[in-house]
Amino acid sequence: MLPAQARLRRRPEFTAVVRSGRRAGRPTMVLHFLPERPAQPAGAPASREERPAGARAGFVVGRAVGNSVVRHRVTRRLRAAVREELHRLPASADLVVRARPEAADADSALLRRDLAAGLDRLLGRSR
């Protein structure tokens, strides 16, 4: 499980990452990466923390992936894979992982490989 401060929760957070971030496609997922969080708008309500410490991740697993059971299984596998790779991201980064329908049939090892390869591409690193 990802800690609460490491998760994207609100729609505007997801929208900012998807619209402004860089993208890397893999066979089982699309990664959207925003290296620097945008400042909070002036009219936004103040939260307990001004800027969360550490990288955050969010997941989008739509109906095209499968029924509810399949979507939840894919989400759990993606969450576990991201938890292992979150240390690679800058502290001010946000990541959105959008599952493709192929993720329904993929095992955890394939999802981890796709995630690692996508992050390598986004971070400009080679393994």
Amino acid at 23: R
- pLDDT at position 85 is 92
- Kindly state the average pLDDT of the residues 64-80: 96
| Domains of the chain and any CATH numbers | 4-36+55-123 (3.30.230.10)
Is residue 51 scored above 70 in pLDDT? Answer: no
- pLDDT at position 105 is 96
